[in-house]
Amino acid sequence: MQKYMRWSGLLVVLMLVLAACSADSGGSSEPSAEGSTPASSGAGGTADCDADEFGCVEIAEGDPITIGTELVITGANESLGLDSQYGAEVARTMRPEIAGHEVEFNHQDDGCSAEGGIAAARALVSEENIAAVIGTSCSSAGIPSAEILSAEGVMLVSPSNTAPSLTSPETHQPFYARTAHNDSIQGLAMATFVCEVLGLTTAATIDDGSPYADQLAAVFAESFPSECDGTITAEEAITVGDTDFSGVLGNIAADSPEFLYFPIFVAEGALITQQARETAGLEDTILAGADGILTPDWLSAAGDAALGAVLSGPDLAFSGDFYADEFLPAYTEVSGEDAPISVFHAHAFDAYNMLADAIEAVAFEDGGTTYIPRTALKDAFFATSGYEGVTGTLTCDENGDCADAKISVSEVQEVDGEIAFVRIWPEE
C-alpha cells in the first residue's frame, strides 16, 4: 500500500532497547498505511512490565489490539464526534495492524459533557487491555476523562479538545495529549482577524460556561484590546439548554458592538444566531462563532440567519495531494458522507497514526504475547518530534500540545444556491 506520511522520528530514551523502527524514518511524506514493524523481542522482557507503575497491555498471539474512542456521537453535537470517529476509522483502513495485531475500536460517547466523559472513561478503563484512547471531542468531557485515564496509565489523545487548561502546566494530566490546536492560539487569531482584516474596534462575547467556550471567549477578550486597542463592551454567559436569549442579547445590544463572538455549540449557537438577527441594536453587528459550530448541522439549524457570520477554526487547507486524492475518498467510503461533517477528522487520523508509531516503538514479544508498557508508551508519544501528518508537522511538548496549529476564518455565504462555509482568511 502506498506510503502516506513521514515517520515521526520518535526521539525516545527508554529502558527498552532494540525497539523495532522503520527503515524509512524521516523519508517519504507518505508513510505506509500498514504497520511498518512487528513487535520486537524486548531485552528486558516481562521485567519491564513489572517495573512499570501501570504494568503492560498484554495481547495474546492472534488477538486484536483495542483502541478506545471517546467522542460525542449522538445528540445535537454528534457531527463533531462522528467526524473524528470517521477520521480514526480511515486511519485504521489504511493501517489495519499495529505491532502485528489487527486493530479493533471500542467506541464510547462522551456526550460533550463532564458526566458523559466520566461515564465513557470509566467504561474504557474497565476493559483491562485497552491500549490507548482517541478522544475526547469536547473539553468539558476531556478534563475528567484525562484524570480518570491518567490514574490508570492509559494514554488519551484528543483530536478536538482545545481548552488551554488541558495542557496548562498547573492542570495537565500526565497521560493526556492532543493533536488539536490550543485555544490560546485560536482566540488570538480571531482577535487579529477582527482588528486587521475587519478593522473593527468594539466586540462582545457570549460563552456557555463550558471549559471550551469560557476559555476561548476569555482569550479573545484578553487579546482584542492589545491587538488594536479594541474595547470589549460585554462578556455574557448562558446556560446549556436555554432557548430564550433575549435578555443576554438585549444587554449586549445596549452598546451596539461591531462584533459578537459566541464560541459555543450547535443548539444554543443556532438560536443565538437567529435571535440576534431580530434584536434591535445588533442589526449591523457581525456574528461570529468557532469550531464548535463549524458544521453543516449549525447551518441547517440557523438557516438564513447564518449568512454573513464568520467562524474561526482549524485551517483545513492541507498541503500535498494525500488529503484530496486519498483521504477524502476513504472518508466518504467509511462514513457515507459526500464531504467531512466537521473539522477535526484529519486530527483524529494523525492521532491514530502517532499512537501506532509510539506503540510499535515500545512493544515487545515474549512467549507469543505482545506487551506494551504503559509508561513507556506515554514517554514515546510525548517524544514525538517532526511527525509529518495530514495536519502539518507535529511535535509534542511536555504538556501534551502536539499540533502544528494553523487557524483560519470562514464566512457563511450563498454558493450556487446553497449556504456554505467559505474560507476567507488567511489568504492562500
Burial class (CB within 10 angstroms; exposed 0-12, middle 13-18, buried 19+) of 319: exposed
321: left (phi over 0), alpha (psi -120 to 50) or beta: alpha
pLDDT per position as a tens digit, 367-407: 999 999 999 999 999 999 999 999 999 999 999 999 999 99
Contact 179, 159 (CB under 8 A): yes
From CA 212, how far away is CA 72, in angstroms rounded? 14
Residue with cell 466518504: 332
Residue 75, all three cell numbers: 445528540
Amino acid identity at 97: E
Neighbouring C-beta atoms of residue 96, cutoff 10 Å? 16
Share of the chain above pLDDT 70, in %: 90
User: Which is nearest to 162 in space by CA: 144, 142, 139, 146?
Assistant: 139
From CA 387, how far away is CA 29, in angstroms rounded? 9
Q: What sign does the dihedral 50-51-52-58 (CA atoms) show?
A: negative
pLDDT (0 to 100) of residue 128: 86
Q: What is the DSSP string of 319-379?
A: -SSHIIIIIHHHHHHHH--SS-SSS-HHHHHHHHHHHHHHHHHH-EEETTEEEEEHHHHHH
From CA 137, how far away is CA 232, in angstroms rounded? 29
Q: What sign does the dihedral 355-170-212-310 (CA atoms) show?
A: negative
> Within the chain, how many helices (H) and strands (E) appear?
13, 18
Has residue 31 got a pLDDT over 90?
no
Neighbouring C-beta atoms of residue 418, cutoff 10 Å? 8
For the whole model, what pTM was predicted?
0.90
From CA 425, how far away is CA 315, in angstroms rounded? 9
The DSSP bridge pattern shows strands 369-373 and 65-71 to be unpaired
pLDDT (0 to 100) of residue 7: 35
Residue 176, all three cell numbers: 493526556
Distance of CA 128 to the CA centre of its chain: 25
H-run or E-run covering 120: helix 114-125
Name the phi and psi angles at 46, rounded to 5.
-70, -10
pLDDT (0 to 100) of residue 342: 98
By three-state DSSP, how is residue 179 classified?
A: coil
pLDDT (0 to 100) of residue 428: 73
Chain mean pLDDT for the chain: 91
From CA 157, how far away is CA 276, in angstroms rounded? 36
pLDDT per position as a tens digit, 322-339: 999 999 999 999 999 999
Amino acid identity at 120: A
Distance of CA 317 to the CA centre of its chain: 16
pLDDT per position as a tens digit, 271-314: 999 999 999 999 999 999 999 999 999 999 999 999 999 999 99
User: Which is nearest to 176 in space by CA: 147, 215, 211?
Assistant: 147
Q: Which residue has the higher pLDDT, 21 or 222?
A: 222
By three-state DSSP, how is residue 271 classified?
A: helix
Cα separations in angstroms, 373 against 35, 51, 58, 148, 382: 18, 9, 9, 18, 14
Q: What is the DSSP string of 195-238?
A: IIII---EEEEEE-SSHHHHHHHHHHHHHHHHHHS-EEEEEEE-
Has residue 10 got a pLDDT over 80?
no
* pLDDT range class, residue 73, cuts 50, 70, 90: very high
User: Helix/strand/coil (H, E, C) string of 127-172?
Assistant: CCCEEEEEECCCHHHHHHHHHHHHHCCCEEEECCCCCHHHHCCCCC
pLDDT (0 to 100) of residue 411: 98
pLDDT (0 to 100) of residue 30: 41
